[in-house]
A = this chain, B = another copy of it.
Amino acid sequence: MVVVMQERASEDQIQHVIATLVEREFDVHRSTGALKTVLGAVGGNRDFDTGLIEVMDGVQQVLRITEPYKLASRTFRPTPTVVSLGAFRIGGDEVIVMAGPCSAETEEQVEEAAATVARSGAKMLRGGAFKPRSSPYSFQGLGEEGLRMLRAACDRHRLELVTEVMDVGQIELVGRYADMLQVGARNMQNYSLLRELGRSRTPILLKRGISATIEEWLLSSEYVLAGGNTDVVLCERGIRTFEPYTRNTLDISAIPVIHKLSHLPVVVDPSHGTGLRDKVAPMARAAVAAGADGLLIEVHPDPDRARSDGAQSMFPEQFERLMAELRIIAPAIGRSICVEPAARRAAVSHA
């Protein structure tokens, strides 16, 4: 921490700040300039509230140095984390696509969605069984019956399953069906849930809260990492801004920022990020071009009749066209995307 004293700060005020810091076990270095005194404080408690110094008399500004996250930082681990799932890996050269419906609705709908996803070369099926909805009157998901449908479709099509877990009480149940557990944007700061997922050994997909800073997002990942679960994948899904036209503003720049600050992989969800079907393909292409490690996309066999998120779900043929476009873009940054299913099956048999 660096404490900048006001130009007119008295010696008493300076001494009071120094004494407070020393009491909190900081080592303090003092630089007395012509205009201002600046104090550098090192050591002390990582959990120290710098605001405490900020409100002291004579203090102009307090500048915090140490990033408050540790295990999630590049400083702690300079090489990228690669999360293995079945026969593929998130965070490596291949860009991984996770796709499927917002919610599991019927046996047929799940099967059709899974078939589309597998046929186009995507590697994971996404789909919800427990849905956090802003209105209590909205469809809340099929529960365990939905999980069963999703699992069966994954097994038939050799896909891995990612699905949301909404609270501590659901972890065990959802964990019996899923290959990856998703923490939704609204739960990004549900610390009870994060702490418990730290004890799990299933990979976690951690969505960014709608108004979370990147630092807060990494701090939330720290709750999981600190529990011993190192398989965390971050997911950008749009932040809230003043612009009303799109539901959220997808923060594509979060991709290179995360890659600089952290070793964790980052994927992008353009479906929730825009809320509008015809904006999903452009934003998916943008995410891959900017270096995303994967995509999370809503696809539905019949979006007009979807029970939730129909407006942002792609038609199967739109999704297949997008996959073809992404195969052209990925090599521009030295990556591949979703090799064709045939090639993939061969790869699986040699794994």
Contacts and interface: CB of A to CB of B under 8 A. Distances in A.
Nearest to A308: B49
A231 interface: no
Q: A interface, by DSSP: helix, strand, loop or mixed?
A: mixed
Given A191-B133, A311-B49, A283 B240 contact: no
A2 to B, nearest CB: 5
Interface in A277-304: 277-279, 282-283, 285-291, 303-304
A10 interface: no
Given A52-B304, A137-B68, A275-B51, A252 B211 contact: no
A168 interface: yes
What size tier do the contact residues of chain A reach?
A: 35 or more
A44 interface: no
Nearest to A38: B40
A344 to B, nearest CB: 21
A65 B61 contact: yes
Contacts of A135: 46-47, 68-69, 219, 222
Given A282-B289, A333-B325, A20 B304 contact: yes
A312 interface: yes
A6 to B, nearest CB: 7
Number of this chain's copies in the assembly equals 4
Contacts of A54: 276, 311
B253 A246 contact: yes
Interface stretch (A28-36, A80-88, A105-113, A147-155): A28-36
Interface in A83-117: none
Contacts of A213: 242-245
A164 B139 CA distance: 29
A229 interface: no
Nearest to A260: B278
Contacts of A169: 168-169, 192
A340 interface: no
A289 B282 CA distance: 7
A309 B38 contact: no
Given A137-B47, A285-B289, A38 B2 contact: yes
A255 B275 contact: no
A160 B283 CA distance: 30
Given A49-B311, A55-B277, A135-B69, A332 B167 contact: no
B245 A241 contact: no
Nearest to A139: B47
Given A42-B33, A65-B61, A251-B243, A310 B132 contact: no
13 contacts: A33-B42, A51-B310, A51-B311, A52-B311, A63-B63, A132-B189, A136-B222, A137-B226, A211-B240, A213-B242, A214-B243, A255-B282, A326-B332
Given A242-B242, A325-B332, A328-B332, 17 more contacts: A2-B63, A4-B65, A49-B310, A54-B311, A55-B311, A136-B222, A136-B223, A136-B226, A167-B192, A187-B190, A210-B211, A246-B257, A253-B273, A285-B290, A286-B290, A288-B289, A328-B331
Which 8 A-B residue pairs are closest in the complex by CB-CB distance? A51-B311, A211-B211, A286-B286, A328-B332, A289-B289, A285-B289, A186-B189, A63-B63
